[in-house]
Amino acid sequence: MFGRDSRAQARIDTLIGKAASVQGDVEFEGGLHLDGRVAGNVRAVGPPGASLSVSEHGAIDGSVDVPNVTLNGAVRGDIRAVERIVLGPRARVLGNVHYGVIEMTLGAEIKGKLVPLPSPSAATMEGEAAGKPE
């Protein structure tokens, strides 16, 4: 029932190591793995399907706007994951989480609101229904 999708193997194009600290916003394409710290916003650009994974050592002080997020570290800011967010047992979020699909492991903490986003298929169905005469 809660089996892992074999396609969910995240590809890593960019790595920010445990000893690294970035001051400022980070924009990336593809996959980003964070073991260090970012003091700024993290945003995916380019083709859809980008992913961010944050290890238990990783931390972000800023907002996150990435379609797919796997979090086992800390985020102090809002998260917008239009496709999927997976919160591991050491995940800590101080901010609101906007999500398409959410998976949360026992031990994860959110201090903010959970805000579901409409799925693309639901938005299409609503648009089609609004265009049809009654």
Alpha-carbon span 73 to 60, nearest angstrom? 8
Alpha-carbon span 82 to 104, nearest angstrom? 16
pLDDT at 134 over 70: no
Q: Using an 8 Å Cβ cutoff, are 49 and 68 in contact?
A: yes
pLDDT for the residue numbered 48: 87
Residues in the chain: 134
Q: In DSSP terms, which residues pair with 127 in a beta bridge?
A: none
Q: State mean pLDDT over 58-69.
A: 98
pLDDT in tens, 74-131: 999 999 999 999 999 999 999 999 999 999 999 999 999 999 998 765 555 455 555 5
pLDDT at 7 over 50: no
The residues, ordered by sequence, that sit 6+ positions from 111 with a Cβ below 8 Å of its Cβ are 93, 94, 95
Q: Using an 8 Å Cβ cutoff, are 79 and 98 in contact?
A: yes
pLDDT for the residue numbered 76: 98
Nearest to 72 by CA among 85, 61, 84, 81: 85
Owner of token pair 């994860």: 108
pLDDT for the residue numbered 1: 37
pLDDT in tens, 30-46: 999 999 999 999 999 98
pLDDT for the residue numbered 10: 64
- Fill in the amino acid letter for 31: G
pLDDT for the residue numbered 122: 52
**This prediction's pTM:** 0.82
